[in-house]
Amino acid sequence: MLIKVCGMRDANNIREVEACGTDWMGFIFFAPSARNVTDRPEYLPVHARRVGVFVDADFKTMTEKIQEFGLHLVQLHGTESPETCLKLKQLGVEIVKAFAIRSPNDLKQTAAYTGTCDYFLFDTPCIGYGGSGKSFDWNLLQHYQGKTPFLLSGGIGPDSLEALASFHHPAWAGIDLNSQFETAPACKNTAALKTFIDQFKTLQL
Ligand SMILES: O=C(O)c1ccccc1NCC(=O)[C@H](O)[C@H](O)COP(=O)(O)O
């Protein structure tokens, strides 16, 4: 199972979180977010893959951030089209398209993105497009019958291990962690994260 820690910004915290054993690390390029990254941190992960998170950003901005941050993946939280996903893929990055899940109907949108994305990310609906700290009804995902692997996201925290251990889906590929492990916006509690990651890795999933 992939583990992504999202909303990173501080160089020292990036180093510590990488040492906790995360596979992917997310950097948010969305000005209204409290986790928005403006300047390139003096350290970027070398073992964890770098994910750039955008919300309806223009193509030029995304291209520049891919180059400046050496992004491996781009995660899209807005109304980006399947064509945009394909165009970004041609730049050599992998694509994660996020979908806010309120009802089984929301999963129908994923069909149009099949073949244009490498992963989907199923998240809790919220006004800020992400980072709500709240979970949604994971049972809704049993209506997802697509083949594109997905990350489970939204409000996953230290108390989620039991629920994660009981969750099953053939396309489930990983988890996304963010505000439930924060001491302040974009600053993760590495002790709590390490404990959680170590325990998550022992689960038989
Ligand atoms: O975290 C943000 O501030 C954010 C803002 C706008 C778009 C996406 C954002 N986060 C992307 C993520 O992948 C989060 O980790 C995901 O939404 C889950 O966050 P949380 O509910 O805090 O665990």
Helix, strand, or coil (residue 36):
strand
CB 59 within 8 A of CB 82: no
Pocket test for ligand 1, best of 4, 24, 27, 28 (most atoms within 8 A of CB): 28
CB 54 within 8 A of CB 74: yes
Average pLDDT value for residue range 174-197 = 98
Please tell me the total number of residues recorded for the chain in this structure.
Answer: 205
**ipTM for the whole complex:** 0.98
Report the pLDDT value the prediction gives residue 161, as an integer from 0 to 100. Answer: 98
Q: How many domains does the chain have?
A: 1
Summarize pLDDT for 76-134 with one digit per residue, the tens.
Answer: 999 999 999 999 999 999 999 999 999 999 999 999 999 999 999 999 999 999 999 99
Residue that the structure tokens 């800020």 belong to: 128
Can you list the positions of beta strands (E) in the chain?
2-5, 24-28, 49-54, 73-76, 94-100, 119-123, 150-152, 172-177, 182-184, 187-188
Q: Answer whether residue 64 shows pLDDT above 90.
A: yes
How many A from CA of 178 to the centre of ligand 1? Answer: 6
Report the pLDDT value the prediction gives residue 205, as an integer from 0 to 100. Answer: 86
Summarize pLDDT for 142-180 with one digit per residue, the tens.
Answer: 999 999 999 999 999 999 999 999 999 999 999 999 999
Residue that the structure tokens 């928005």 belong to: 36
Residue that the structure tokens 């993760």 belong to: 188
CB 27 within 8 A of CB 69: yes
Of 28, 24, 20, 27, the closest CA to residue 4 belongs to 24
Domain carrying residue 67? 2-202
How many A from CA of 177 to the centre of ligand 1? Answer: 8
104: its two tokens: 């089984």
Q: Is the pTM of this model over 0.80?
A: yes
Distance separating alpha carbons of residues 75 and 88, to the nearest angstrom:
11
How far, CA to CA in Å, does 106 sit from each of 74, 86, 93, 100, 143?
Answer: 21, 21, 25, 7, 10
How many A from CA of 130 to the centre of ligand 1? Answer: 4
In this structure, the residue with its CA closest to atom 2 of ligand 1 is 131
CATH of the domain at 44: 3.20.20.70
Pocket test for ligand 1, best of 73, 119, 136, 176 (most atoms within 8 A of CB): 176
Residues with CB under 6 A from ligand 1: 6-7, 26, 28, 30, 33, 35, 53, 55, 77, 123-124, 128-133, 153-156, 176, 178-180
25: its two tokens: 């690390």
